[in-house]
Structure 1
Amino acid sequence: MSQKQFDPNPTHRNFYGRRSGKTLRRSQRGYLDEDLGALQPTNITVDENPAREPIDPGAIFGDDRPVWLEIGFGGGEHMVHMAARYPEIGMIGCEPYINGVAMLVGKIRKAGVGNVSVHPGDARDMMDVLPEGSISRAFLNYPDPWPKKRHHRRRFVTPEHLIPLHRVMAPGAEFRVATDIPSYVRQTLSEVPKAGFLLESLRAVAWPDWISTRYEQKALRERRTPSYLSFRRI
């Protein structure tokens, strides 16, 4: 792939999503001020780590447990659910939308889960510094649909994101995608295998350990049919 299409060591990236929304409630500001610092891994951004040296997931969680990655965790329902259900794993979540980060941190405090790490920024920055083959499972749940055709290149399921994801995932690791947008399903089926993933299943019923999120509930209210795709890193 040409350097124009994918730069593995970028110093600047375009970002198209929202960084913030409605004014945070006082309690949410408290969650961020009091809890977020201890949940964040260090040396993620270019400013912190200009040489883009790999971080050590073992140092984040204190041992060599399997590490899972959630890309864009929204309000954090799924991330906290999985961390509580699988206390033997370490869960890293990436989300640039600070309102969603505040919701997640509040849920972490309420659930009392300790096997989580939160990067309040672009997942690409995290993938830049994760070691090769360090992720055992990755999740992309109801990503920003970018419905206009001219914006499809902004979706996560493009080489700019999928090539780094393939690098950080272990051979045989599972990549799950949930979406209610038919064109997103088509683009996922087209692009993810090109990046080195094998389609295992495409289903209309969620995985047994799934928890319904606010985005899925909105899709169902609006009579859109969710799709659940599973891939294996090869």
Structure 2
Amino acid sequence: MTCDKSTPRAPWRNFYGRRHGKALRRRQKEYLDEDLAALAPGPVDWDANPERQPLDLAARFGRREVWLEIGFGGGEHMVHQAALHPEVGIIGCEPFINGVAMLLGKIREAGVENVAVHPGDVRDLFDVLPDASIARAFLLYPDPWPKKKHHRRRFVTPEFLGPLARVMAPGAVLRVATDIPDYVRQTLIEVPRAGFDWLAETPRDWREPWDDWLSTRYERKALREGRVPHYLTFRRR
């Protein structure tokens, strides 16, 4: 058997987060089996799209502008935004399958239809998102990777921010929420380098949440443990 060297191959990428947690409940397995495939934004994985053709977002969302939530956790914020803004389409990306199952349950309960779900690494999604196709992106309480030797694993590094900048339209808004002071520091250094302007004019702009904010379970945990949330807003140049 010979190997066709002209066939594109998936890039090898380190992945450091968790993909599975505790055993899923029967109902959560049903959500994954019954709902997930229909909510795909398009052919993202290499087997379905080896040529890495850009996603047809108009086929999925029509003429809506498209937002992206990177690492939606349990999905409460994503579903809240989808219900609050039916005029947009929202793609959620999350590799932790337990979180995906939680989101699918919330989607059923809320009855929102303007959503798509990629249950995997956001870098795979970046490979197939068209240039300047995202009007707003959310990075909410990302994994802080607190050890200094692990800071290169954070999202706010060139490996992630470069592709994010490519897929975001000029003038698009990026929201970052974190309770880790050193993550704030790195965000304020690296995100502007990637082509974004920080929009804060007064301390209120980063101390107070956005008007349409819904507190997540990660934020509530941070507050219980005495950590202070920061709300950072950037605009793509």
Same fold (TM over 0.5): yes
SS at match of 2:144: coil
Letter in 2 for 1:208: D
Instruction: Tell me the distance in 1 between the aligned counterparts of 2:47 and 2:190.
Output: 31
Partner of 1:96: 95
Count the aligned residue pairs.
Answer: 225
Per the alignment, do residues 213 and 159 of structure 1 end up closer, same or farther by CA in structure 2, a change over 3 Å counting?
Answer: same
Q: Deviations over 1:17-52 (max 9, x none)?
A: 000000001111111111111111232122222221
CA distance in 2, matches of 1:124, 1:83: 23
Find the partner of 1:217 among 198, 216, 220: 220
Query: Match for 2:84: what amino acid?
Result: R
Runs of at least 4 residues of structure 1 off by over 3 A? none
Q: How far is the alpha carbon of 1:10 from its aligned partner?
A: 5.8
How far apart, in 1, do the equivalents of 2:218 and 2:71 lie? 12
Secondary structure at 1:176's aligned position in 2?
strand
Counterpart of 1:129 in structure 2 is 128
Q: Secondary structure at the match of 1:12?
A: coil
Distance 2:145 2:46 in 1: 27
Aligned amino acid, residue 103 of structure 2: L
Q: 2:228 and 2:118 mapped to 1: Cα distance?
A: 30
| 1:42-53 matches, cutoff 5 A | 42-53=42-53
Contact 1:95 1:120 in 2 (8 A): yes
- For structure 1, which runs of at least 5 residues remain unmatched after alignment? 1-8
Are the counterparts in 2 of residues 98 and 120 from structure 1 also a CA contact under 8 Å? yes
Q: How many angstroms apart in 2 are the aligned matches of 1:47 and 1:190?
A: 37
What aligned pairs does 1:130-169 form with structure 2 within 5 A after superposition?
Answer: 130-169=129-168
Measured against aligned partners, the alpha-carbon deviations of 1:144-178 in whole angstroms (never above 9, x if no partner) come to 11000000000000001000000000000000000
The letter of the residue matching 2:236 is R
Amino acid at match of 1:167: R
Q: State the AA in 1 paired with 2:218.
A: Y
Partner of 1:3: none
Q: In the alignment, is residue 60 of structure 1 matched against residue 60 of structure 2? A: yes
The one-letter amino acid paired with 1:49 is N
Q: Which amino acid aligns with 2:121?
A: D
Query: Which runs of 5 or more structure 2 residues have no equivalent in the other structure?
Result: 1-8
Counterpart of 2:33, as a letter, is D
Aligned to 1:5: none
Describe the SS at the equivalent of 1:203.
Answer: helix
Alpha-carbon distance between aligned partners in 2 of 1:72 and 1:203, rounded to the nearest angstrom? 21
1:216 touches 1:226 (CA, 8 Å); kept in 2? yes
**TM-score, length of structure 1 as denominator length:** 0.94
Counterparts of 1:72 and 1:213, CA distance in 2: 12
The alignment yields a C-alpha RMSD, in angstroms, of: 1.0
Contact 2:155 2:161 in 1 (8 A): yes
- When Rg is computed on C-alpha atoms for both structures, the one with the higher figure is 2
Q: 2: CA distance between counterparts of 1:10 and 1:205?
A: 41
Q: Distance in 2 between matches of 1:58 and 1:170?
A: 16
1:52-94 Cα deviation digits (max 9, x unpaired): 1111111112x12100000000000000000000000000000
Match of 1:194 in 2: 193
**SS in structure 1 at match of 2:69:** strand
